Chain A
Amino acid sequence: MQTNTLYNSSATQPDNCINIQSSIASDDCHTVGNTSVKNPRMNCRNVDVFYADKQAINQVTLDIGRNEVIAMIGPSGCGKSTFLRCLNRMNDTIDSCRISGEILLDGQNIYDKRQDVVPLRAQVGMVFQKPNPFPKSIYENVAYGPRIHGLTSTKSDLDIIVESSLNRAGLWDEVKDRLNQPGTGLSGGQQQRLCIARTIAVGPEVILMDEPCSALDPIATAKIEELIDELHEEYTIVIVTHSMQQAARVSQRTAYFHLGNLIEVGETNQIFSNPRHKLTEDYITGRFG
């Protein structure tokens, strides 16, 4: 954690395209830092998102590397959740939402007409802000994904998937004796880990997390963060968070969003110890946001 060395900002970038008060500038905006990585899992190129006439994301270009945890931070309404929901086309469920630009998953454009959204969402799973287990038993919650995708043919295979998913979500020992009880009866932190187990059970490549700890107490949060740390060896994780400490603790790279623009992206250490953009520095030092 480098949060104690926040104040040694070196240079201030010319503030040529951002105006804090005005709405999003329509000219193309230059992101500070290196947006590309070697051997990326996902590439986003010039992504624009509109809700009806309102532009929510402006020309975001960002690579997401394999097995990395990338954190997205920024003040409320800056578009980080919107951007996250683009990555598995969850925004399709919103009628007024329009997206342009391209997002590639393993080189394949996910907004291509031939791309079926169902397998995409199995590859790019999502964990939501509020734990949302189905009103079914713990077992059925985890078995839901494998069932609908037909991943198993026998009950014992399904049992194995359920057990291993709960195990990896660090929940198995707590619930193994009550798999048939409703998932809604667990505590908040357990519910969120159940949702993570549910996502893992489908066998995704990327897991998107939209403020997964904002509804949890500090102990449950610590458990989830620990879990994220373990999971990133197998999965690529994109996490949106309001907590800068959390971003600093769990992520390797951090992206700072402001009013729909991707302002700065870089190694988490560098962002928090040595932000290069004035807005990033102001945000992480707590001057606004």
Chain B
Amino acid sequence: MFEPAIITHLVIAELPGALRELPSDQLNLLVNNIKNLVFGNIVSGEINPAMQDAADHYQHLHTISRAAQTVVALSLAILCTLLAWRSIHKEQRARNSVERIIMLFLIASSSIAVFTTIGIILSVLFEAIRFFQAVPLTDFMFGLKWSPQMAIREDQVGSSGAFGAVPLFAGTMLISFIAMLVAAPIGLMSAIYLSEYASKRVRNIAKPLLEILAGVPTVVYGFFAALVVAPLIRDSGTLLGLDVASESALTAGLVMGVMIIPFISSLSDDVINAVPQAMRDGSYGLGATRSETIRLVIIPAALPGIVSGMLLGISRAIGETMIVVMAAGLSANLSANPLQAVTTVTVQIVTLLVGDQEFDSPKTLAAFALGLMLFITTLILNVIALHVVRKYREQYE
């Protein structure tokens, strides 16, 4: 691993004084040339005797290092074998130490995810703080105008730079709301059908089919929304005499709703199935119909799980990017009209960071601030969902 670095260092130390005094960039070039000479690659410039010497020296060191590697590996193996051999005796319980090693390995694996999360939060947080040094927090939180173009030159026109995030969050909320309006009832109803009404055969076919929806990449949903659903909605809007933008919140919301259906239906189906059969028997035994049993016993018993499924669905909707990039548009309108184009937080993050960017202007730093807000929102939703699920678990124990 460290072999090339060490050898290079040694070779440089052996070089004639005149060559050693060279500036670092020329020295690097020289070392590169020496390496090329050693490994038979094309050498730039002509080969002088000093270089040839150095190359021979390099070759020599390389051979030594190979031999040293072999020796070290062999002696390590022998040493370990000896240690293992010596530690075997009657009282030795290998299982304990093996289990401890496995446990350490598992702890390491799980902490990787945790530390990565912490790292992401910190980096986003620090960049966001830099952003808030340039743009006041109140302007960002309550400003109604989003126009993140900053003047690069002093005399540039029309680049005032306004960082009011309200239109973005309003757009996100509008699209998520439409998505949940589609996904929540359809997902819940399909879960009820699958778990309570469907025969085993139908269920075995329908459930995997529904879950395939969850496996469709969102970019596919995105161009489906932009190329199929958007024209459809625009044309039917025109028929009714409505003025529909071709990139409307409605399109993005509808398609996103379809994307979320499998999450909600699958989670709800699981919690409905987890309601003990005894509850159903008890209700049927009292002469309740199937719909009474579902409405009055099963849904209330499964409600916490269903709610947490919905919350996870909302988090997905808020964080969803590809569909809205393709179908929702870029103009930051502050509007509650689903037929207009709106933009979302995620879309703006993408547009702020696409292409060559400098990371010292508020324009790009705004992406971190938006990301932080988004992260906090979904984090709160997930915490609520987890809390609800935990409460649900206690109920049947």
A is bound by B: yes
Of A9-17, A51-59, A126-134, A223-231, the segment with at least 4 beta carbons within 8 Å of chain B is: A126-134
Whether the pair A125, B278 counts as a contact (CB closer than 8 A) is no
* B166 within 8 A of partner (CB): no
- CB 8 Å contact bits of A81-112 with B (1 = contact, 0 = none): 00000001010010100000000000000000
Whether the pair B300, A125 counts as a contact (CB closer than 8 A) is no
* B200 within 8 A of partner (CB): yes
Of A24-32, A41-49, A194-202, the segment with at least 4 beta carbons within 8 Å of chain B is: A194-202
Whether the pair A184, B395 counts as a contact (CB closer than 8 A) is yes
Inter-chain contacts of A199 with B (CB < 8 A)? 285-286
Q: A130-B278, A132-B279, A134-B301 are in contact. Are A148 and B286 (CB under 8 A)?
A: yes
Max chain A C-beta neighbours (<10 A), residue from B199, B280, B292: B292
* A166 within 8 A of partner (CB): no
Interface size class of A (residues with CB under 8 A): 20 to 34
* B281 within 8 A of partner (CB): yes
The listed residue (A120, A128, A135, A202) touching B281 by CB distance below 8 A is A128
Whether the pair B301, A135 counts as a contact (CB closer than 8 A) is yes
Query: Could you count the A-B residue pairs with CB atoms below 8 Å apart for me: how many are there?
Result: 71
* A122 within 8 A of partner (CB): yes
* B16 within 8 A of partner (CB): no
Inter-chain contacts of A148 with B (CB < 8 A)? 286-289, 292, 296
Whether the pair A136, B292 counts as a contact (CB closer than 8 A) is no
Whether the pair A134, B297 counts as a contact (CB closer than 8 A) is yes
* B282 within 8 A of partner (CB): yes
Q: How far is the CB of B227 from chain A (nearest CB, A)?
A: 44
Q: Which of B371-397 contact A (CB under 8 A)?
A: 395-396
* B283 within 8 A of partner (CB): yes
Whether the pair A144, B287 counts as a contact (CB closer than 8 A) is no
Inter-chain contacts of B283 with A (CB < 8 A)? 134, 144
C-alpha spacing A128/B395, complex, angstroms: 20
Inter-chain contacts of A198 with B (CB < 8 A)? 282, 286
C-alpha spacing A184/B278, complex, angstroms: 13
Inter-chain contacts of B395 with A (CB < 8 A)? 135, 184
C-alpha spacing A48/B273, complex, angstroms: 31
Interface size on B, residues (CB 8 A): 22
Q: A118-B287, A148-B288 are in contact. Are A90 and B281 (CB under 8 A)?
A: yes
Q: Which of B188-228 contact A (CB under 8 A)?
A: 199-200
Query: What residue of chain A has the Cβ atom nearest to residue B200's Cβ?
Result: A95
C-alpha spacing A133/B286, complex, angstroms: 12
Whether the pair B282, A132 counts as a contact (CB closer than 8 A) is yes
Inter-chain contacts of B297 with A (CB < 8 A)? 134, 144
* A119 within 8 A of partner (CB): yes
Whether the pair B282, A195 counts as a contact (CB closer than 8 A) is yes
Q: A95-B199, A134-B297, A134-B301 are in contact. Are A122 and B280 (CB under 8 A)?
A: no
The listed residue (A88, A130, A136) touching B300 by CB distance below 8 A is A136
Q: Which of A173-226 contact B (CB under 8 A)?
A: 184, 195, 198-199, 202
Query: What residue of chain B has the Cβ atom nearest to residue A117's Cβ?
Result: B287
Whether the pair A145, B286 counts as a contact (CB closer than 8 A) is yes
Whether the pair A121, B286 counts as a contact (CB closer than 8 A) is yes
Inter-chain contacts of B200 with A (CB < 8 A)? 95
Q: A148-B292, A148-B296 are in contact. Are A128 and B278 (CB under 8 A)?
A: yes
Q: A93-B280, A184-B395 are in contact. Are A128 and B300 (CB under 8 A)?
A: no
Inter-chain contacts of A133 with B (CB < 8 A)? 282
Q: A95-B199, A135-B300, A184-B395 are in contact. Are A145 and B287 (CB under 8 A)?
A: yes
C-alpha spacing A121/B292, complex, angstroms: 14
* B284 within 8 A of partner (CB): yes
* B276 within 8 A of partner (CB): yes
Q: How far is the CB of B253 from chain A (nearest CB, A)?
A: 35
Inter-chain contacts of A128 with B (CB < 8 A)? 278, 281-282, 285
Max chain A C-beta neighbours (<10 A), residue from B282, B296, B297, B301: B282
C-alpha spacing A132/B284, complex, angstroms: 12
A136-B300, A198-B282 given; 11 more Cβ-contact pairs under 8 Å = A118-B287, A125-B287, A126-B285, A128-B282, A134-B301, A135-B279, A135-B395, A144-B288, A148-B288, A149-B287, A198-B286
A residues with a Cβ closer than 8 A to B are 88, 90, 93, 95, 118-122, 125-128, 130, 132-136, 144-145, 148-149, 184, 195, 198-199, 202
State the 8 A-B residue pairs at the shortest beta-carbon distance, nearest first: A122-B287, A132-B278, A126-B285, A121-B287, A145-B286, A132-B282, A148-B292, A118-B287
